[in-house]
Copies of this chain bind each other. A is one copy, B any other.
Amino acid sequence: MEATAQTDSLVEQGVSATKVMVMEQPGEGPRVRMVLQQCMGAQLMVQPPDEGSPPQFVEIRRGLIIYICFLRGATKTLTEKMARTALTVRLSESDDGKLVSVLDLPGDVLIIPQATLGGTIKGKVMQYHKNIAKEEGLQLYSEFVSIFRKTYERNDKCQTTGTVVRYGTYGNRQVFSCQTNGPYTHLIEM
């Protein structure tokens, strides 16, 4: 509120609105951060080994690895927007060399919750003050995963080709391996 009033006042004073912006309030900045990598295959542990039970893994073939982190202020709406973006942004190389979306490829998707992505460096340590509360993060993460699963389930091409969506366990240590012909690492923030 105060911030807007200040901007208005500056504009009245003849300061171009395009030249001035008010400092972000604490907690502003990106609310969802995503790192995307292309892969030819990846394996992720979703259940650590436990007294006699071996660890459980999920696996994908060619497709997209999505590291996702929710920060304070992240909402369901923003989460949906981010999921749609990841599904439709043209970053996957098709067989004829064109860039298409992972959905159009169609390629597998591996979603990895990655709270560390919300870190801010301070001196020699990372701080995670901007991360969302764990419970809220889990809700948004589940929502994010759900959009991918539904989209793939309803997509004929995905069904015919057997492409899959796999995802990590929120809060777990993400033990995994991947193989890629070029990760083409991208950062998308909202």
Q: Could you tell me which A residues sit within 8 Å of B by CB distance?
A: 3, 6, 9-10, 13, 15, 18-23, 33, 35, 67, 85, 88-91, 99, 101, 112, 114, 116-117, 119, 121, 124-126, 173-188
Distance (Å) between the CB of A93 and the closest chain B CB?
A: 10
Cα A178 to Cα B176 with chains together (Å): 8
* Besides the known contacts A117-B185, A117-B186, A175-B180, 10 further A-B residue pairs in the complex with CB atoms under 8 A apart: A19-B23, A20-B20, A35-B185, A67-B183, A89-B124, A89-B126, A90-B125, A101-B124, A121-B188, A174-B183
Give the residues in chain B near A6, CB-CB below 8 Å: 15, 19-20
Distance (Å) between the CB of A63 and the closest chain B CB?
A: 15
Give the residues in chain B near A85, CB-CB below 8 Å: 121
Closest to A101 in B: B124
18 A–B pairs (Cβ distance < 8 Å), ordered by A: A6-B15, A9-B15, A10-B10, A20-B20, A33-B187, A35-B187, A67-B183, A89-B125, A90-B125, A90-B126, A112-B183, A114-B183, A114-B185, A116-B185, A117-B187, A173-B182, A174-B182, A177-B179
Cα A186 to Cα B126 with chains together (Å): 9
Copies in the complex: 2
B19 near A21 (CB under 8 angstroms)?
no
B175 near A182 (CB under 8 angstroms)?
yes
Query: Given A124-B101, A126-B186, A186-B117, is A178 in contact with B177 using a C-beta cutoff of 8 Å?
Result: yes
Distance (Å) between the CB of A6 and the closest chain B CB?
A: 6
Query: Given A116-B184, A116-B186, A182-B174, is A22 in contact with B22 using a C-beta cutoff of 8 Å?
Result: no
B88 near A124 (CB under 8 angstroms)?
yes
Cα A117 to Cα B20 with chains together (Å): 28
A89 near B185 (CB under 8 angstroms)?
no
Distance (Å) between the CB of A165 and the closest chain B CB?
A: 20
